[in-house]
Amino acid sequence: MRSRIYKHSTATRLKKSTITAIFLTTLSLPLIGTRNSSLAQDQSHPTYEVYALSYGVYPDFPVSALLAGADKTRKIDLQMMIWLIKGPGGKNILVDTGCYHENVVKGKGIRNLIKASDAIAKLGLSAADITDVIITHMHWDHADGMDLFPNAKIWIQKDEYSYYTGAAWQAGGKSGGIEPDDVLTLVKLNTAHKVSLVDGDDREIIDGIKVYTGGRHTFASQYVSVRTASGTVVIASDNMYLYENLEKHAPIAQTFDAESNLKAQDRMKQIASRPDLIVPGHDPMVFVKFPKPGNGVARIQ
Ligand SMILES: [Zn+2]
């Protein structure tokens, strides 16, 4: 996979240098206007591979809890997922961390549950190989595995951190879906200088990887865009639970602000290079649309 990307980059570089030479020698013009072209991006910035990884299935989940206005009798086998962004130079960025602590998973009936650190082993990686973890939001099924990755820097929205370590637990606060132990873990990681608080929307936290707010699944949930060889991929996480949210233009059922959520979904369509490069948070169809390489691993491309 990597060698193919290098070949691609080399080819692009050759093409680019030819174009540059033509511009400079025959037209004497600087390279104005090419900055945003895919050629320029390929040459000067890294691209990444994006994988969805299954870590379990939550059976018989009501669709009406995912899709606003859905038939209350409909049920779905909810796909539990994390996402790996694999970059050049040993950069391995995990988006969300699943769940595994006994007190968190007990009684939930999740089938084929594996730890996030075991899910990444399917791509030949161990927990120590993860350089960065982007937490989209603090719900138990996304943040509970945060303590599995000893070398990772944790990226989370500053407002998400503030709210769930504070106001969420005060009168009038909303702490549904948040595990108190996960909050303690996050605070401990912060005191160990392992947390980077992202201050707001549209932030490029790593070259080619941006985070966005406005989905309002939780207080300050974020979604992620990634530059890949196939274009820009958007990892929506629970800011868009299912493909059906996008198709029916329906907000997610669990949100602080349905209007803001819909706007965020509309914006994802602007950010992603193709609509099918938007990856929802819990849709089993991800592994049908992207069947390769298989065995609970889907390469998004
Ligand atoms: Zn979730």
Spans of all domains in the chain: 4-39, 46-300
pLDDT in tens, 127-147: 999 999 999 999 999 999 999
How far does residue 276's CA lie from ligand 1's centre (Å)?
20
How far does residue 273's CA lie from ligand 1's centre (Å)?
24
How far does residue 52's CA lie from ligand 1's centre (Å)?
14
Q: Give the residue from 107, 110, 92 showing the smallest Cα distance to 152.
A: 92
Q: Give the residue from 39, 59, 31, 95 showing the smallest Cα distance to 223.
A: 95
Q: For residue 133, what are its two tokens?
A: 């973890």
Higher pLDDT, 97 or 26: 97
Give the pLDDT score at 44: 74
Give the pLDDT score at 90: 95
In this prediction, residue 283 has a pLDDT band, given cuts at 50, 70 and 90, of very high
How far does residue 238's CA lie from ligand 1's centre (Å)?
5
Q: Can you tell me the mean pLDDT for 278-301?
A: 98
Q: Amino acid identity of 153?
A: K
Give the SS3 label for residue 120.
helix
Give the pLDDT score at 45: 87
Q: Can you tell me the mean pLDDT for 10-35?
A: 43
How far does residue 125's CA lie from ligand 1's centre (Å)?
23
What span, in angstroms and rounded, lies between the C-alpha atoms of 106 and 101? 8
What span, in angstroms and rounded, lies between the C-alpha atoms of 193 and 17? 43
Looking at the chain, the whole-number percentage of residues with pLDDT higher than 70 is: 86
Are the C-beta atoms of residues 216 and 256 closer than 8 Å to each other?
yes
How far does residue 187's CA lie from ligand 1's centre (Å)?
21
List residues, by chain if needed, whose CB lies under 5 Å from ion ligand 1. Answer: 141, 238
Average pLDDT, the chain: 90
Q: Can you tell me the mean pLDDT for 79-93?
A: 97
How far does residue 284's CA lie from ligand 1's centre (Å)?
13
| Cis peptide, bond prior to residue 291, ω within 30 of zero | no
Residue 115: is its pLDDT beyond 60? yes
Residue 263: is its pLDDT beyond 80? yes
Query: Which runs of consecutive H residues, i.e. helices, occur in the chain?
Result: 2-22, 38-44, 102-105, 116-119, 140-143, 158-164, 180-191, 243-248, 258-271, 286-289
How far does residue 280's CA lie from ligand 1's centre (Å)?
10
Residue 105 C-beta-side C-alpha neighbours within 13 Å: 22
How far does residue 42's CA lie from ligand 1's centre (Å)?
33
Task: Record the pTM.
Answer: 0.86
Please give the CATH number for the structural domain made up of 46-300: 3.60.15.10
How far does residue 206's CA lie from ligand 1's centre (Å)?
24
How far does residue 241's CA lie from ligand 1's centre (Å)?
8
How far does residue 211's CA lie from ligand 1's centre (Å)?
17
Residue in this structure with the two tokens 């796909």, named with its chain if needed: 79
How far does residue 178's CA lie from ligand 1's centre (Å)?
11
How far does residue 35's CA lie from ligand 1's centre (Å)?
37
How far does residue 204's CA lie from ligand 1's centre (Å)?
24
Question: How many CB atoms are closer than 10 A to CB 22?
Answer: 11
